[in-house]
Amino acid sequence: MDRIAAPTQTDAPQTERADAAPAMRETLPFAKALTAGMRAALAADDHVLLMGEDIGRLGGVFRVTEGLQAEFGERRVLDTPLAESGILGTAIGLAMAGFRPVCEIQFDGFVFPAFDQITSQLAKLTNRHEGAMSFPVVIRIPYGGHIGAVEHHQESPEAYFTHTPGLRVVSPSTPNDAYWMIQDAIASNDPVVFLEPKAKYWLKGEVDTTARALPLHASRVVRRGTDVTLVGHGAMVTTLLQAAALAEGEGTSCEVIDLRSLSPVDYGPILDSVRRTGRMVYAQEAPGFTSLGSEVAATVMEKAFFALEAPVLRVSGFDTPFPPAKLEGQYLPDADRILEAVDRALAY
């Protein structure tokens, strides 16, 4: 799989039941936009199945699958045992039989019992069969901080999966992206790790069900600027926008880019922006050492070196386990830490 240029992506099914999605334009919370996207996918293709712990009658810990079992039945929305490895192993078998399973992992820290199934099996099977078989499995993982949770309930494990060839990794940051990207992920014939920022679940935004704005593996400029390029993904996009608004008050114009796709990365908009601004700051919740931010920074340094007026700078969580809730504010990058990096970039 190409790790730089975004590959051609099969479009998600367009045929939907009249009641399978919200009105053409409606304001929805991020979580309910995901619900609507999965409802549309379930309605469009009988081979789509949802699997996970307490996702049926309960509707999941974050109520993202609420109402779907009542609508589509227990054979389409399956409550599973508390066994993540078993969930993924079963999903692989279902994919081999022609189904499109969508697996929910309750919290980011719970994915590791299934890590072997994901990285040693699922990610390698298409290559092992020389492309003769596809494995359209989606793994939904609520991830990241900002909710004051306990150990194993707040982590940013994206680097493990972006490092693994054979996996697509994406993370929406708006309700509209959540609605469309989950459908595109389900339509993909490759396995997709679908990272859902927990802090965004209650964010409301407009969802346009008439047409997707961007392909699954495209990055997006969310704010135009001229002095510094700010790049991030998931919940960090909101923090970058806060930093950009504060910087504007100090006379600095920041361009903000939402990565959206973590593997493969769509570098086009990032490189275009850096060649105009000459400076870049990457921000992430995950620890900085050997992280996604490390890879993006290195690639930008290689491909836009002669346009840079300063080194690419990174702002990240610290290289420690995610802390208890009371220390979360010190661990997670905030607007002040990002602005400090902006000031350093401008000082060169």
Q: Helical H runs in 97-250?
A: 115-116, 123-128, 158-162, 175-187, 236-249
How many CB atoms lie under 10 A from the CB of residue 25?
Answer: 11
d(Cα 331, Cα 42) in Å, to the nearest integer? Answer: 39
Which residue in 47, 146, 152, 153 is the catalytic one?
A: 153
Query: Exposed (0-12), middle (13-18) or buried (19+): which is 262, by Cβ within 10 Å?
Result: buried
d(Cα 347, Cα 228) in Å, to the nearest integer? Answer: 12
Angle, CA of 212, 8 and 47, to the nearest 5°: 70
Contacts of 35 by beta carbon, 8 Å cutoff, 6+ apart: 64, 65, 66, 67, 68
How many residues are listed for the chain in this entry?
348
d(Cα 232, Cα 241) in Å, to the nearest integer? Answer: 10
d(Cα 197, Cα 173) in Å, to the nearest integer? Answer: 7
d(Cα 211, Cα 219) in Å, to the nearest integer? Answer: 17
- Using alpha carbons, list the distances in angstroms from residue 311 to 181, 272, 344: 33, 16, 10
d(Cα 7, Cα 218) in Å, to the nearest integer? Answer: 10
Would you say 146 and 187 are in contact if contact means Cβ atoms under 8 Å apart?
no
Q: Which residue has the tokens 């699922």?
A: 122
Active site residue 153: yes
- Using alpha carbons, list the distances in angstroms from residue 98 to 75, 119, 258, 309: 15, 21, 34, 52
Q: Are strands 77-79 and 48-52 parallel, antiparallel or unpaired?
A: parallel
Beta bridge partners of 193: 139, 169
Beta bridge partners of 196: 142
| Residues annotated catalytic, as ranges | 153
